Structure 1
């Protein structure tokens, strides 16, 4: 009984730590600057969408939003495609050779992003990929691929060997087995990986800050920096931008929640 009460108290405190900042940000997006500082935790005097109109039309956040959608969606799709192919290959290779290749592919997770910034910048400059959306897509794939292989490979290795053998018996080649058998069975793991990659790449500020210099090619995290000045920050507009930037992540989680939960528990169930 005491443990149950303690756990409930801890969860209640954690819920408050999450709900209070979110409430301040959402309500703050409908307030003026004086109203926000006068009553940061109170309800807005009126739910006016003036801040949203300013952010989307005058501050060019709509263009940044479109850039983030294109870059993130393309990056996540290609990372999942390449990562699932690599994970499938390591799962099909028997013995220590498969584990060796798997370990080599996920080794990139141990390298800090900051350690690669200078050589990446020099390489992208030589290839003419600086200040381009294609450059951001490529770097996102490179950074996200070890994570995708790690998650998907760990799941595919738990699939029974008979799964692959059944495809061969029915006359399916390696690619047909991958596409028609393994991929449908890996949907929970793919969804969990997609959400994980989406959150990382949608919120990424480091690489856009390093590679992008043109205003029309900025992503949302980089565009939000424009709301913060050296001496003054327009918090209502900043909160509005944060709300707009958070909506795709909320929608993605709601749509993929069932698969995400299944993907988290898949390894434990099969283990």
Structure 2
């Protein structure tokens, strides 16, 4: 009887030891080690703030940043994506990475900047190196679906057909803009002149963005000599072009690049 009690005690101790060993060896998910939803949400909020201040890549997010509803959706998608990827209960329901970044012309340098901004957010909340590296490693697996072969601004805009549609809308916008339409009144009244202006604009944008078009019109200083265009007039012109680009859903990065190219002409247009 005494021997049986010893065997029972020994068996109980054995199973208890096995249970403790199993519990000790059961690894915690990255989600738990990061701190769960609350901690991930705080990191994502800081990550978004970092990206917004990062001039290397914030143009990619400008449209979302200007729309509270879109920004909230982006934030929630990122939280859910990180939560699901790290073993949490969240479910990511957004687009695949390839679909979400198609046509954005994200380059390796852009991706690296994004990783840096996330790394800084993790550092702010003192995320340990092991967990930090695991999360950044998970992001690295998405690189092939995010980074695209470099495309010219012309290709990003959609080529001649897309540029033509934008220019048609731009001309319509200018015609309805009382701030500057007087400068174009003579051309608007003459179909031949208006068509020439349209073709010059298409060719100018095409050539400036890397397309095969060739601009053969006057240089900007000569074309605007004596017109007394002010900064306010130029800004109105930029607004009208931006509205045309937005109508055709040109994403923020190529839109900014094109408007930036127009900005380089300011000195040759204003004050002539």
Same fold, judged at TM 0.5 (above): no
Higher RCO structure (Cα 8 Å, ≥6 apart): 1
Tell me the TM-score normalised to structure 2 length.
Answer: 0.29
More helix by share: 1
